[in-house]
Amino acid sequence: MQFNSYIFILAFLPFTLIGYFLLNKYGRNTAAKVLLLVMSLVFYSYFNYKYLYIICASILINYLFSRLLLDAERSGTQKKWLLFAVISLNLLILFYFKYFNFFIENINLAFQASFTLKNIILPLGISFITFQQIAYSLDSYRGETAGYSFLDYAVFVAFFPRLVAGPIVLHGEIIPQLGEPKNHSINYENFSYGILMFAVGLAKKVFIADLFAGAANWGFASVGSLSALDAVIVMLSYTFQLYFDFSSYTDMALGIGLMFNIKLPINFNSPYKAVSIPDFWKRWHITLTRFLTKYLYFPLGGNRAGRVRTYVNIMIIFLVSGLWHGANWTFVLWGFLHGTASALHRRFKTQWEVVPRVLQWFFTFLFVNIAFVFFRADSIGQGFGLIKRMLAFDSAGISPALLNCFELPFITGLEKALQISVSGLDMAMFMAFTFVIILCFKNLNELEFRPTALNAVLTVLLLVCSIFSMSAISVFIYQNF
């Protein structure tokens, strides 16, 4: 079940909202939480009901370990072993479902072996759930959790708005809000703002991300036949697709959370406005950066153990980030590139700061684009193949098949009405429009929202237009991680 599907928008979400607030209205907060948990598990099982036992068992086992870690009578050594056991268990589950075949493929390649690969389907949100529960276990070990009830913990882990692709939330960001009496009734400001965020996110997905997806998919499937200009457009198309796909999901997730009076942490903040790679990572997948910084970078010593050790620690967290995104050497290379760029920025930060700001932005954006080539490529060879095509400097124009990916109905109709054919008009207008949105517009979290009649009308129009424009349901990119 996708956020951008009719069954979710017209049935699942309204039913869950009505049931949740009706139960709370009559003082049945526990029953409301149970409903929220059950519906979250229904949402999860809709993707693959056979894996429902995984999330249920994972929640139960992690909760039991957290209770043991909070036991004040246990010695420090016992708690360390318990922490080691629960983290190992979570990582082993993640390894099996996400990395087992990748590991076997490389064993076969390195030793000319012929071990059989397993037919493994990646469970929904397993990377996000794993990191979230590891964070909770570490916080329990440090005595930073409050010994929540099993129901509160289960809702915290399974809360459906953030289940597919984050954000990676901490216990203090959800559980206390569930118990706040003021959150048990509809807050019309939160509700209207949540609908606006959902509508804007859906529009980004339907009208922008999915259009760029067609160009990116065509280009990466046709690397060998691309002209230099084709290759540049394909690279930009994926960069824009990923931006609006992730941004749309984040807006929709935060919007749904607000409808339930749950404020989820901001996970996306105009990353393509960044003027350095560290700045990029303060804006892109913010909660993943926070997790890796708090639970890996600092325990490794952070920047307190000398320059070389700091660079090593930076590289470690970016390699982990790369592997977390996917079981492919392309993601490892992507992480390595960002780790190298971050270490170089730390080394030459003073020199970088004297570079004109517009050049800082340009080189950062260029680097992010090139690195994303490997993020999208099926293999490192395919990624370098696309870069090689960009550097070919041939005189060939834009392929007609690529232009067709950018056909917008209202522009195509204008061209037919005027009996003209402007090569590349659709694409040029759409690219320019996209740049304007990325660089000039503010994020929703930066705007001051007021629940006025005009905003209500605009929200409904945007939502209705987006719903009627949905065709084939496309998955969110980060759902695959």
Enzyme catalytic residues: 325
In a 13 Å sphere around the CA of 458, the CA atoms on its Cβ side amount to: 11
284 has which bridge partners?
Answer: 268
Going from the C-alpha of 104 to that of each of 101, 114, 320, 378, the distances in angstroms are: 5, 9, 19, 18
In whole angstroms, what separates CA 337 from the centre of its chain?
Answer: 20
Contact (Cβ atoms closer than 8 angstroms) between residue 267 and residue 162: no
Q: Look at the block and give the residue holding tokens 């909660």.
A: 287
- The amino acid present at 158, given as its one-letter code, is A
